[in-house]
Chain A
Amino acid sequence: MDVIKIARRAYAISWLSWLELSNWTNPLIFTIYVLIRPLFTLLLYAYIYVAFAISSGYSNPASAFYMVTGISFYNYIGSGIYGVAWVIHEEREHYRLLKYNYLAVPDLMFYLTSRGLIHYLIGLALSLVTLPIGLWLVSYDLSSLQVNLPLILINLILGYLWCTSLGIMVSAISLFSAEWGPLIAESTGGLLFLVGSVLFPAQSLPWWMQPLVNAIPMREWMELTRFALNPQYPIRADFLLQMEVIKTSLYLLCSFVFFKIMDKLVRMKGYLEATTEH
């Protein structure tokens, strides 16, 4: 395996991804554009919490920490999944270049993985910017944070792997639909928000949603992130980490097999270059 060649390809694809994201404006406006939505989302939830605390005369720092960390770090996963799952639609429908990229790279999965990289980096930057702002807004005692950097890094890598695998599976489905691609990509982000213990514990969801909660490693990822920021956070970190590793491995395997099958099927059906022509 030629690692340098792979790295060059990944760099070129990420560079393209960056250009597609940012080509329309200058860096300052782009930064404002990227920051504005996550910041306003954070402000909205933070002020709901503050208003509730003022009106009830009761504040709960643990809940505030839960909410702010959830909203901040969801940026990483939300941006990443969208960055991967949106590619098929964008390349096929908008740029009409899917077939040329398909022919040029040894594997379309590698292309999707590399296209997502820059989205994860932007998502991570957003997480790191919004976290201190959010904690400050809810008056959380920052001295209680004890960042476990190795765990954060391991968790970020695991998050990248399972989330990209999920994105690849979603992309494999959107290969079959020119019309539903954007909906599928956006809904997956919404699903992760819902079942991933972002704003509330996933266990509080109805029983019929629990299989879905357990099937997606988002909950483990989110809880481990909180634990990596504050070791007092009450979870069984070892167990959750094991579960995340097992689920990530399964996701990697499933996405590989699933994408290969769908890749063959889509060429059988003749949908690889299908566009809506609107």
Chain B
Amino acid sequence: MYSIETIELSRTFKRNKGRLIYALRDVNIKVRKGEIFGLLGPNGAGKTTLIRILATLLLPTSGKAYVLGYDVVGEANKVREVINVVSGGERSGYGIMTVKENLWYFTQLYGLSRRDGWRKVRELIELLGMEDFADIRLNRLSTGMIQKYNLARGLINDPKVLFLDEPTLGLDVEVAKYIRRLIRKLIKEDPERTIFLTTHYMAEAEELCDRIAIIHKGRIVALGSPEQLKKMICDELVYKLEVKGIYSKLGERLKEAGFSKAVSSKSDITTGLTSLRMVLSSEEEAEEVVKWLIGSGYKVISISKVEPSLEDVFLKLVGGKLSEE
């Protein structure tokens, strides 16, 4: 039995004038127990919609979805008993109550006894290192502290499947690192637990996930381990170019010139340079690109071949960077 299984899962929304928008289209995924499964995609790709369906907050338009064998539509109550959801950038508690009070409140909703509830609260405060702010109201906490609390709340019922929706969104580097360490620890402590994580941080997905699905416009466009995904572009070459000047549309211009569908560009006003990352089929094509750039009046500062990353896989499949979407 899979921890999560979706079969031809689709979800549409009606927009202006009855126009149908596909948030998810024929999604088929199978997530094994004990896996950290990542769903990678830009904003609006369908990541949160999939989590909402799996967490029983939204019904699918068609298709089936199961969590630990329970149908998310017909057995929603059973699904809710074994899952929990943590969303980045949200506050999943009452600002008028302290961290401790909020956690205790949720232990009671989940049916823990008074004694077990307080024991759980103490355990979670220790696990998340929240001793210093456990007695402070939530509305006085920083974003990082709130996200630690969010994670603690998500662990109250010892969920067998934990959905993490952009868990490091808006966090500073140190807190994000801490959260990632904790996610790994959660799986280590309970090998039966499954973590389903959505993110648009490529490095986070690569670092944490056993397998990754790339979602674009509601469709799963690739699925595999980070290594397997990188092999998808093993026959191709990834080049990094630097051009003097700020050209925000340079990537698009190169695409229009027919060089590659997989180009990302980024301008840095501090250095006055525009960096390009391109997935190309051969060295000759790279030479062609340089010729075209010089011929079009651009000053090429450097060109180098780089190791393919998950970012390049995404670039090739989707045609743009996550942040550009």
Contact = CB atoms under 8 A, between A and B. Distances in A.
Interface in A79-112: 95-97, 99-106
B105 A103 contact: no
A102 B109 contact: no
B109 A5 contact: no
B94 interface: yes
A96 B91 contact: yes
Interface centre among B59, B77, B83, B91 (most CB of A within 10 A): B59
A264 B59 contact: yes
Nearest to B93: A97
Contacts of A100: 85, 92, 106, 153
Interface string B282-319: 00000000000000000000000000000000000000
B13 interface: yes
B80 interface: yes
B203 interface: no
A268 interface: yes
Nearest to B77: A106
A16 B94 contact: yes
A104 B106 contact: yes
Contacts of A272: 57-58
Contacts of B105: 12, 15-16
Contacts of A104: 80, 106, 109-110, 157
A23 B113 contact: no
A270 B109 contact: no
Interface residues on chain B, size class: 20 to 34
Contact of B56 (A8, A96, A267): A267
B181 to A, nearest CB: 25
B168 interface: no
B57 A103 contact: yes
A84 to B, nearest CB: 18
Given A19-B96, A95-B94, A11 B108 contact: yes
Contacts of A12: 104-105, 108-109
A8 B85 contact: no
A16 to B, nearest CB: 6
A101 B58 contact: no
B101 to A, nearest CB: 8
A127 to B, nearest CB: 28
Interface string B63-96: 0000000000000010010011100001111111
Contacts of B90: 96
Contacts of B77: 106
Interface centre among A12, A96, A103 (most CB of B within 10 A): A103
A117 B237 CA distance: 67
A105 B58 contact: no
Given A12-B109, A97-B93, A97-B94, A102 B59 contact: no
A96 B153 CA distance: 15
B155 interface: no
Interface centre among B13, B105, B114, B157 (most CB of A within 10 A): B105
Interface in A244-278: 264, 267-268, 270, 272-273
Interface centre among B52, B58, B80 (most CB of A within 10 A): B58
A205 B201 CA distance: 64
Nearest to A107: B77
Nearest to A99: B57
Contacts of A9: 108-109, 111
B55 interface: yes
B108 A273 contact: no
Contacts of B113: 8
A20 interface: yes
A5 B111 contact: yes
B222 interface: no
| In the complex, the 7 A-B pairs of residues with the closest C-beta atoms, listed nearest first | A12-B108, A104-B109, A23-B96, A268-B59, A267-B59, A5-B111, A100-B92
Given A95-B95, A97-B94, A100-B106, 9 more contacts: A9-B109, A9-B111, A11-B108, A19-B96, A95-B94, A103-B80, A103-B84, A267-B58, A267-B59
Interface of B: 13, 52, 55-59, 77, 80, 83-85, 90-97, 104-106, 108-111, 113-114, 153, 157
22 contacts: A2-B111, A5-B111, A8-B111, A8-B113, A12-B105, A16-B94, A16-B97, A19-B97, A20-B94, A20-B96, A23-B96, A95-B95, A96-B90, A97-B93, A97-B94, A99-B57, A100-B106, A102-B57, A103-B85, A104-B106, A267-B57, A272-B58
